[in-house]
A and B are shown apart, each in its own frame.
Chain A
Amino acid sequence: MTVLTTPASAVRLARQGRPIGEHIFRITLLSSLIIALGFLAMLLIYVVQEGWPRLDSTLWESMPSIRRPETAGVQSGIFGTLWIIGLTALMALPTGVLAAVYLEEYADKTKWYNKLIELNISNLAAVPSIVYGILGLGIIARWLDFGFTVMTGAITVSLLVLPIVIISAREAIRAVPPSIREGSLALGATQWQTIYRQVLPSAIPGIATGSILALSRAIGEAAPFLMLGAATLVRFNPEGVWSSFTVLPLQIYSFISQSREEFHILASAAIVVLLAILLLMNSVAIWLRNRFQKRW
C-alpha cells in the first residue's frame, strides 16, 4: 500500500532551512487539533460526571416520570428515536441514492433544469432544520392530515437529510474512475447494468459513510420536533407509524428546564445515551467503509 506523505529527507531539509517558522506552524497545527479534541473531551467528561449516578439500566428500562425523577428513564425517547431513524433510513436512503445516480449518470448537465435542481439541492442542504419543522407542521401534519405521529416526524427528518444524502452519494459515485464504466460498457453491458453491477458497488463505502453521518445528524435534531409539537412527556413506546412519540433530544430539553436537580442529572445521563447511539452509528459507518473499500 502506498501512502502519499512527505518523504522524511524532505522534512529534515525543511527543518534545517527554516527552523523557527516551521516550528511555529507545527505548534499552530497541533494546538488547533488540541482545541477541537480538548473541548470534546471536556464535554464528555462533564456529561459523564454529571450523569454518573443515573447511568444504570433503569435509564432504558423505565419510562420518564415527572413524579419520581430519581427512578425515571428515557425508554420512550430511545424507542421513539430508533423508530424515527429506522423509517428515515427506509425513506431517505433509497430516494437519495437514486437521485444521485440520476444526477451523476443520466442528467445532461448542460440543460437548465438539471442546473436548477443541482443549485436547489445545495441550497436545501444549508436550510436550518427549524424551517423543515415548519414545513412538516404546515404540509405533512395539517394539510395531509397525518397529525403529530411517527410518520410525520420521519417524513420531515427524511426531507431534512435528503440533500445531504444526495450530495454525499454523488461525491461517492463521482469518485468511481470512468475507466470502470468504460470497461463495462465496452464489454457490452447496458448503462443500467454498468451502474448496478459496477458503479454502485464501488461507490458503496462513500454512500454508506455519507448516509450514516446524515442519519446521525437527524438523531440529534430537536428543533423540527419542537416545531412539530411532539409531546415531551410520553409514557409509552410508539406502536406503529401512526402513534404519538417523543425523541431523546426533546426529552433532554424538557428535563433541563425542570426545577428539580434530579432532572438535570437525568438529562446528563440521557445525553450519554444519545452520544452512545451516535458513536455506535458512526462506528458502523467506519466499519462499512473499511469493509468495502476498493483501490484501483
Chain B
Amino acid sequence: MTSGQRRLSAVATAALVVALAAACGGGDSNTGGTDSASQGTETNAAALTGEVKADGSSTVAPLTQAASELFGEEQPQVKVPVGTSGTGGGFEKFCAGETDIQNASRAIKDEEKAACDAKGIKYSELTVATDALTVVVPKENTWATCLTTDQLKKMWEPAAEGKIKTWKDVDPKFPAEELKLYGPGTDSGTFDYFTDAINGEEGASRKDYSPSENDNDIVTGVSGAKGGLGYFGFTYFEENADKLTAVQIDSGNGCVAPSVETAQNGTYAPLSRPLFIYPSAASVKRPEVAAFLDFYVNNIDAIAKDAKYIPLNAEQTAKLKSDLQALKSQAG
C-alpha cells in the first residue's frame, strides 16, 4: 500500500465513522422501539403502529403536541410529528393530502376549501380550545385600562397609517405619548382573526407597526415602550403578566377583561376565538389516526390545561365529541 493509498483509506475511514455514528443512532432507537413494542403488546392487545402527521398553526401546535405526548404513553409505536408551518402553509399541505391533521387558529378560507375540493380531500372542523386574543400595554401605562373596539379600530385600521401617531390622536383624554404598535406578521392566523374582528376585513391593517412571527418579541417591544400596545394569544399574556397589563375590551356591553371564564362563556367579545383542528376524512379510516383523535377528544380538558390553554365549556366539549363521531361515521 503506497502512502497515498493509506491517506485515501484514512479519509474513507473517517467518512465511514460519521456514517456509522448516524446509523448506530438509528440502530439504538430501533432496539428501543422494539422493546417498547413488546411491552406494548403485553399490556395492550391493540398496539397500533404508523404515523399521524399534523401541521399548521403554531398557536394550536402546543395543544396537538401535548396530545401527542400523552398519547405516546398509551401507544408508543404510533408517531405523531407536529409541524408549525402556520395556518396558511399547513392548509396548503393538508389540501395536497400530505398531512392527516391540520391545526388552525382560524376557520378554513374559501380558496383553501376550493383547493381541498380539487384534490378530493374531505375534512371536518373540530373546535378543540378557546383563546382570548389579548391586547396588552406596559405596566407604566395608566390611562388605557379599557379600550372600546372603535378605539382599537382607530389605531389599527389601514386609514390610521401615518395619521394616528400618539395616544392623544386615538382619544383626546389620553396623554400625547407616542403610540408604538406591535403585532403578529401577516401570515399568522392571529393577524387574520384580529383584523377581521376589529377592522371588519380580514387582512386589512395599517402597515406601519412592528410585525413579528415570535410573540416573545412583542412582549419585549411592548414592555420596553411606555406608549406601546400589542396583541397575541392569552398564554403569552399569562406568562408575562408581571411585565404587561391586559386591556379590558368594550364592544358595547361594558368593559370585559380577558380571562378563562370570559373566554369560555363568550362575553370577551369579539376577541375570544375558537382554535380548530381539521382531520382528513380519508386519514380517519386508518386505525392509528382514529385512535389518536379519540384520545385527543376524550382527554381534551386535561390536554388543554396541560398545554396552558383555555379549555372548552361543557357544551363545546359535547359538540366536539359528536362532531368527531359524525366524521368517523362519514368516513365509514
Using CB atoms and an 8 Å cutoff, list the residues of chain A in contact with chain B.
Answer: 65-67, 79, 82-83, 85-87, 89-90, 93, 142, 147-148, 196-198, 200-202, 204, 208, 229-240, 244, 246, 254, 256-261, 264, 284, 288, 291-292
Contact = CB atoms under 8 A, between A and B. Distances in A.
Nearest to A240: B26
Interface in B90-107: 93, 96, 98
A53 to B, nearest CB: 18
Interface string B22-46: 1101101110010000000000000
Given A86-B19, A89-B19, A204-B8, 15 more contacts: A66-B307, A67-B69, A67-B70, A67-B306, A82-B22, A86-B22, A208-B14, A229-B93, A230-B83, A231-B53, A231-B82, A237-B26, A238-B25, A238-B26, A257-B216
- 7 smallest A-B Cβ distances: which pairs? A86-B22, A201-B4, A231-B81, A237-B29, A66-B65, A231-B83, A259-B239
A235 B72 contact: yes
Contact of A231 (B55, B89, B215, B306): B55
B168 interface: no
B295 interface: no
A87 B22 contact: yes
Give the one of A148, A231, A238 with max B CB within 10 A.
A231
A109 to B, nearest CB: 26
A235 B76 CA distance: 10
B68 interface: yes
A285 to B, nearest CB: 10
A288 B11 contact: yes
Given A244-B53, A256-B214, A233 B68 contact: yes
A224 to B, nearest CB: 14
23 contacts: A66-B62, A66-B69, A67-B70, A79-B26, A82-B22, A86-B21, A86-B23, A148-B98, A200-B4, A229-B83, A229-B93, A230-B83, A231-B81, A232-B61, A233-B81, A235-B69, A235-B72, A236-B29, A237-B25, A239-B26, A256-B214, A259-B216, A259-B236
Interface string B197-229: 000000000000000011110000000000000
B58 interface: yes
B82 A232 contact: yes
Contacts of B267: none
A82 B17 CA distance: 12
B25 A292 contact: no
Contacts of B314: none
Contacts of A234: 79, 81-82
Given A235-B72, A257-B216, A83 B25 contact: yes
Nearest to A87: B22
B30 A239 contact: yes
A244 B81 contact: yes
B3 interface: yes
Given A229-B85, A246-B81, A259-B239, A85 B18 contact: yes
B259 interface: no
B22 A83 contact: yes
B216 to A, nearest CB: 7
B282 interface: no
> At the interface, is chain B mostly helix, strand, loop or mixed?
helix
B79 A258 contact: no
B98 A147 contact: yes
B186 interface: no
A236 B306 CA distance: 21
A257 B215 CA distance: 7
B53 A233 contact: no
B2 interface: yes
Given A90-B19, A259-B216, A83 B3 contact: no
Contacts of A83: 22, 25-26
A8 B162 CA distance: 64
B83 A79 contact: no
Contacts of B21: 82, 86
Contact of B89 (A89, A204, A229): A229
B15 A239 contact: no
B4 A198 contact: yes
B148 interface: no
B28 A237 contact: yes
Contacts of A232: 61, 82-84
Interface in B54-86: 54-55, 58, 61-62, 65-66, 68-70, 72, 79-85
Contacts of B15: 89-90, 93
Nearest to B84: A232
Given A142-B96, A204-B7, A231-B81, A79 B14 contact: no
Nearest to A231: B81
B69 A257 contact: no
From B15, B68, B81, name the one whose CB has the most chain A CB atoms within 10 angstroms: B81
B79 A244 contact: yes
Given A235-B69, A259-B239, A85 B83 contact: no
A170 B158 CA distance: 55
A230 B19 CA distance: 21
